[in-house]
Amino acid sequence: MSRTLVELDSRHEGSSFWSSLRTAVTGRRRSSRLPSAAAAGDVVTEARGATLSLDGTPVLRDVSVTVRAGEVRALLGPNGAGKSSLLGALTGDLPLDGGSVLVDGSPLRSWTATELAMRRAVLMQQIHLSFPFTSLDVVQMGRAPWRGTPLEETNEEVVAASLAATDVSHLADRHFPSLSGGEKARVALARVLAQRTGLLMLDEPTAALDLKHQELVLQIARRHAASGGAVVVVVHDLGLASAYADQVTLMARGRVVADGAPAEVLTAERLSEVYDYPVEVVEHPGGGAPIILPARSAAAVPPR
Ligand SMILES: Nc1ncnc2c1ncn2[C@@H]1O[C@H](COP(=O)(O)OP(=O)(O)O)[C@@H](O)[C@H]1O
Ligand SMILES: [Mg+2]
């Protein structure tokens, strides 16, 4: 192998183009460290004292968060609080100015991109895909990290199960750009599920979804945690978080305001302050998780 190729390899670690080129040239694929199953309660990823500025604006200020196997953690907070930035820090897309991120107990940078993709799947807030891939193509992309491993044999069955899980099997042959916003979001989530990773990192997966599919997505998250996985999910609906999350991290202005079980963190007083709007926490008449909603006094609603 030429020296140039070795250098390019290390800079583009995990890129499928370079790994296929390497396979073509050397006849082998560098072996990746395969993930092992985590026990409930094991820390799968964490940020410690994360600090980050973007274009001179501080967006994360000493943020620490821990994500454990068997747990759904919701990231909450008003627009601009730093939720997507924190996910970006956890994925490594946004390199930190200070603090650290660990994945399976080792620094983020000690893993190759393929090894990371075997451990966690990421649903970004914005999905840009203008090339006319079908939904099936998009979901099949989720299997890329397992190429060349024994798990490749399960591709077809995993892709079918992932399409079914997010209720998009009927859209498999449709071109992705032609789908509605909510349909796109569900296909994108199916891709993430097809990756079959222990950790799911989902940025506003429910933002474009109708009521039924919002519940479905959080139920998928719960089942994933119940089967030993871990989920970190950004949602705006505080009622969804209170019903489905084990732990919530409430953020504002780049800081963690509160962290803990939903019932402890999501109080009317704290939420009213953080959202700068009066919020009510109401007991669910059917005995479910509390209902959290804006306080709409007659005075707050302009006349019709
Ligand atoms: N590239 C950037 N340059 C400057 N500020 C940015 C940049 N990206 C994001 N921000 C700012 O960082 C803050 C946090 O953004 P973000 O993490 O996306 O918030 P959230 O996901 O909680 O709505 C916001 O005020 C946003 O405007
Ligand atoms: Mg965001």
Give the pLDDT confidence of 269-279 residue by residue, as tens digits: 999 999 999 99
How do residues 223-271 score in pLDDT, each as one tens digit?
999 999 999 999 999 999 999 999 999 999 999 999 999 999 999 999 9
Task: Please report which ligand is nearest the Cα atom of 79.
Answer: 1
For ligand 1, residues with CB inside 6 Å are 54-55, 57, 59, 77, 79-85
The Cα 119–Cα 289 span in angstroms is 31
CA of 83 to the centre of ligand 2 (A): 5
Q: In sequence order, what E strands does 173-267 have?
A: 199-203, 230-234, 247-252, 255-260
Judge contact between 189 and 205, C-beta under 8 A: yes
CA of 165 to the centre of ligand 1 (A): 31
Best mutation site among 52, 53, 54 for ligand 1 pocket (most ligand atoms within 8 Å of CB): 54
> Given this model, what pLDDT does residue 302 score?
83
CA of 28 to the centre of ligand 2 (A): 40
> Given this model, what pLDDT does residue 25 score?
42
Best mutation site among 51, 53, 59, 236 for ligand 1 pocket (most ligand atoms within 8 Å of CB): 59
Q: Within 13 Å, how many C-alpha atoms sit on residue 89's CB side? A: 30
Residue 216 tokens, joined: 């479905």
CA of 221 to the centre of ligand 2 (A): 19
Residue nearest to atom 24 of ligand 1 (CA): 80
> Given this model, what pLDDT does residue 65 score?
98
Which residues are 43's β-sheet partners? 68
> Given this model, what pLDDT does residue 30 score?
58
For the range 183-190, what are the long-range contacts, defined as Cβ-Cβ under 8 Å and sequence gap of 24 or more? Answer: 184/127, 184/208, 185/127, 185/209, 186/213, 186/217, 187/135, 187/138, 187/139, 187/163, 188/123, 188/127, 188/138, 189/123, 189/217, 189/220, 190/135, 190/138, 190/139, 190/142, 190/162, 190/163, 190/165, 190/166
Going along the chain from its start, the domains and CATH numbers come out as 1-30 (no CATH), 41-262 (3.40.50.300)
The answer for residues whose C-beta is within 8 angstroms of residue 160's C-beta and 6 or more apart is: 169
Residue 298 tokens, joined: 């007659």
Number of the ligand 1 atom closest to the C-alpha atom of 254 = 14
Low-confidence ranges of the chain (pLDDT < 50): 1-28
> Given this model, what pLDDT does residue 298 score?
73
How do residues 157-168 score in pLDDT, each as one tens digit?
999 999 999 999
Torsion sign over Cα 118, 235, 183, 167: positive
For residue 75, the SS3 value is strand
What is the reported pTM? 0.89
Residue 3 tokens, joined: 């020296």
The Cα 226–Cα 196 span in angstroms is 15
Task: Please report which ligand is nearest the Cα atom of 80.
Answer: 1
The Cα 163–Cα 148 span in angstroms is 23
Residue 21 tokens, joined: 């080129």
* Start-to-end C-alpha separation, the chain: 74
The answer for residues whose C-beta is within 8 angstroms of residue 6's C-beta and 6 or more apart is: none
Task: Please report which ligand is nearest the Cα atom of 125.
Answer: 2
CA of 80 to the centre of ligand 2 (A): 7
State the residue for tokens 């953020």.
251
